[in-house]
Chains A and B, each alone.
Chain A
Amino acid sequence: MISQLTDEQRRRWKEYREFADRVIAPAADAIDAHQEIPRELIRELGEAGWLSAMLPRRWGGSAVDALDYGMMAEELGRTCSNVRNFVAVQDMVSDAVSMWGTAEHKRRWLPDIATGRRIAAFLLTEPGTGSDAQSVRTEAKDCGPEIVVNGTKKWISFGQCADVFLAFVQYQGQHTAILMERDRPGVSVTPLNDMLGLRGSMLAEITFEDCRVPADSVLGHPGSGLAFVASNSLNIGRYSTAWGCVGLAQACLDASSKHACEREQYGKPLADHQLVQQMLADMLTRCRAARLLCWQAGQAHEREDEDSHYETLTAKYFGSTVAAHIASQAVQVHGARGMAAGAAVGRFFRDAKAMEIIEGTSQVIQQLLGRWSAVAGHPSSLDATG
């Protein structure tokens, strides 16, 4: 892995780590405890170019490539999964607006999302619709110069504080994306607090009751909601999550290694006990393997490989599975301290579980990869990306 980095990439990665350690890490415990991300921190992320980072500079982005984006996501995941999730959600929405929005959509929303002045939320799941994203029931109907929306979305990250929603609805009988402001009659937001993990992600249930939006709120074409808009956005979310899992795993490894060197039992450090060494070796190996899969996914994205989304799925599936396993081992290494209130590894353990569910559950991804396995090429094939 190290041999694949250029000197410039290594320099930038160090900067990303330093920013995360200085700005994000000190806030992580409080974000989890108080279940919110402070607006000041969001603005700081915007000022430092961490929001909409892959977008062109004219839209407020930093024009980073997929590999740098991954490094940034890893450092966010290492320090605070809630902040990593926040950045991912903003990027999912801003990418959709930049790809499918009108000039007016872009002008109105992209600069504000990139600076953190306005917060976006991605509204796909519903009380009755999770993995089966095709079956959204929220309905949008034409009504003269407006569209009227009725329905409920649930488990929406940052739904508590979002100013703009990218919502997926049935419009003219087809799966369609619409962009809508929160501040409209007929919108009600119910906080969903005390989640097991990602407690600082400010989840909400959002209900639309005869909510009227302008007819030009449709993003892209009717019928393109899932196949194009959501599919592309979810790919960003999965890619960010995959790298974030590597960061979370690295944080677990760092904490466990440190604890194992400092804590003594039977007259010697834990790190000198073979069964602890076994756990640390397992954590190290899996974390590095997950990082390599993420790097491969980033390279596939940069090459615009037709199978790049599958590379991302592979990285997300492995990364989230690894993160959950490593976080469990980290608590084990710490013993009772790992279970104490406020223990960082306890937060990692809870957040890691969420990674196996968000942006596509492990089971859904296994289905997709299982089918792809029949056509996924071998590295020796000229057409293969693996």
Chain B
Amino acid sequence: MNGFVHTRVHDFIKPKLGGRSLSDDDDIFALGYVNSLFAVQLVRFIQREFDFELTSEDMDFDNFRTVDRIVRLIDSKTGARTTPEGRL
């Protein structure tokens, strides 16, 4: 797993949970601390931060449930080559 991607994703989500802890395999939405608007925020963050467009095929809600799954999605789209600058 790309460490940089993991850190950026984790750092994006953590403040939205009001200071609560977050494990990489926690279902973010099932925790009950984020609302349906968060999914849209997450998508926009991913596309902007890692500079690629998600397709309708990618928009399977299961891809966004946990930090692990989000990082896997990003790695699959960027070839796991994302650098600290967020670019290939």
- Given A306-B45, A368-B35, A375-B16, A100 contacting B40 (CB threshold 8 A): no
Is B23's beta carbon under 8 Å from chain A? no
The interface stretch among B3-11, B56-64, B78-86 is B56-64
Interface of B is mostly: helix
- Given A305-B44, A306-B48, A368 contacting B59 (CB threshold 8 A): no
CA distance A383 to B74 in the complex (A): 23
CA distance A375 to B19 in the complex (A): 12
Is B37's beta carbon under 8 Å from chain A? yes
Is A259's beta carbon under 8 Å from chain B? no
Contact of A231 among B39, B45, B62, B64 (CB under 8 A): B39
CA distance A308 to B45 in the complex (A): 12
Contact of B61 among A223, A305, A313 (CB under 8 A): A223
Is A19's beta carbon under 8 Å from chain B? no
* Cβ contact within 8 Å between A231 and B36: yes
* Cβ contact within 8 Å between A230 and B61: no
* Cβ contact within 8 Å between A235 and B40: yes
Q: Can you name the residue of chain B whose Cβ is closest to the Cβ of A100?
A: B56
* Cβ contact within 8 Å between B61 and A227: yes
- Given A231-B40, A232-B40, A99 contacting B29 (CB threshold 8 A): no
CA distance A100 to B55 in the complex (A): 9
Q: Encode B24-40 as 1/0 by CB contact (under 8 A) with A.
A: 00000100000111011
Shortest distance between the CB of B38 and any CB in chain A (Å): 8
CA distance A374 to B17 in the complex (A): 11
| Residue of B18, B40, B43 most packed against chain A (CB within 10 A) | B40
- Given A228-B61, A231-B36, A306 contacting B44 (CB threshold 8 A): yes
Is A193's beta carbon under 8 Å from chain B? no
Interface of A is mostly: helix
Shortest distance between the CB of A370 and any CB in chain B (Å): 12
- Given A306-B45, A306-B48, A309-B41, A223 contacting B36 (CB threshold 8 A): no
User: Which of chain A's residues have a CB closer than 8 A to the CB of B15?
Assistant: 375
CA distance A232 to B45 in the complex (A): 15
Shortest distance between the CB of B70 and any CB in chain A (Å): 13
* Cβ contact within 8 Å between B48 and A227: no
User: Which of chain B's residues have a CB closer than 8 A to the CB of A221?
Assistant: 59-62
Q: Encode A277-310 as 1/0 by CB contact (under 8 A) with B.
A: 0000000000000000000000000001111111
* Cβ contact within 8 Å between A309 and B61: no
User: Which of chain A's residues have a CB closer than 8 A to the CB of B45?
Assistant: 306
Is A188's beta carbon under 8 Å from chain B? no
Is A220's beta carbon under 8 Å from chain B? yes
* Cβ contact within 8 Å between A220 and B40: no
* Cβ contact within 8 Å between B37 and A220: no
Q: List 7 A-B contacts (CB under 8 A).
A: A223-B62, A224-B61, A226-B36, A227-B39, A231-B39, A306-B45, A309-B37
